[in-house]
Amino acid sequence: MKMLALYSIKGGVGKTASAVNLAAQSALHGYRVLLWDLDPQAATTYYLRAKPKVKGGIDKLIKGKASFDKVIYDTDVERLDLLPASFDARELDQLLDERKPSHLRKLLKPIRDDYDLVILDCPPSISVLSEQVFSSVDALLVPLIPTTLSLRTLKQLRSHLDEQDYPCSVWPFFTLVDRRKTLHLDVMAQLSSEHKLLLSTTIPSSSVVERMGITQAPLSQFAARTPAALAYATLWEEVAQRLR
């Protein structure tokens, strides 16, 4: 079982849309996928038409006392299951504070044979939760808007991971790209030369992604032939190659 996290220090970069669309694409390609919404805002949970609630409470889940068959839900996408967020997920930092590294991965041990891939949608912060994510996943997928501020936050993240000696790889990719903007083109060219693990696929800025909040579905279900949906399909193929 592989584990990936959609993570960014900065909010508003298309993290949740990317988590949902990449999870859907991986399921369409035959992977058995669990998408775990770790963000108390529960946007991923909303996009997949689930209630923001973990039966028994998040504390029982973190303590390993919750039965996964009671907290994991089917979605409208075949082979894609959801472990939803709940508002009490804001207590995750406190609940994880004294746990050993990789606790999130260890929690999933009872169901590791049920899934090929687990994708975590993470809140935008450096916290106890993010440290658990860094120590649990195989790679961080980091969405970036092509701006100088995004490059700065990526450098901050890489510096932190190096200082703490976390083994996870960092796979950045660009979102909300507008190729009419010189700044976007310049920033993408700069990072391409600086970061060898940059994913080459870019996600265009598109109103169809915003419609996910209305349709409550991944792009593959209502706008499969749009440039944004096709870009996510290509991005998944690139990620899948690295997972092999």
d(CA 226, CA 236): 16
Q: Which domain holds residue 87?
A: 2-243
Task: Look up the CATH number of the domain holding residue 203.
Answer: 3.40.50.300
**pLDDT value of residue 89:** 63
Show the DSSP H helices in 10-147 as ranges: 15-28, 43-47, 58-62, 68-71, 92-96, 103-107, 128-136
SS3 state of residue 127: coil
Tokens for 144, please give them: 């970036």
Q: Are the C-beta atoms of residues 122 and 3 closer than 8 Å to each other?
A: no
pLDDT 10s per residue in the chain (244 long)? 999 999 999 899 999 999 999 999 999 999 999 999 999 889 999 999 998 888 777 888 888 888 888 899 999 999 999 999 877 666 788 889 878 889 999 999 999 999 999 999 999 988 999 999 999 999 999 999 999 998 999 999 999 999 999 989 999 999 999 999 999 999 999 999 989 999 999 999 999 999 999 999 999 999 999 999 999 999 999 999 999 9
**pLDDT value of residue 131:** 94
Residue 140 backbone dihedrals phi, psi, to 5 degrees: -100, 125
Total domains in the chain come to 1
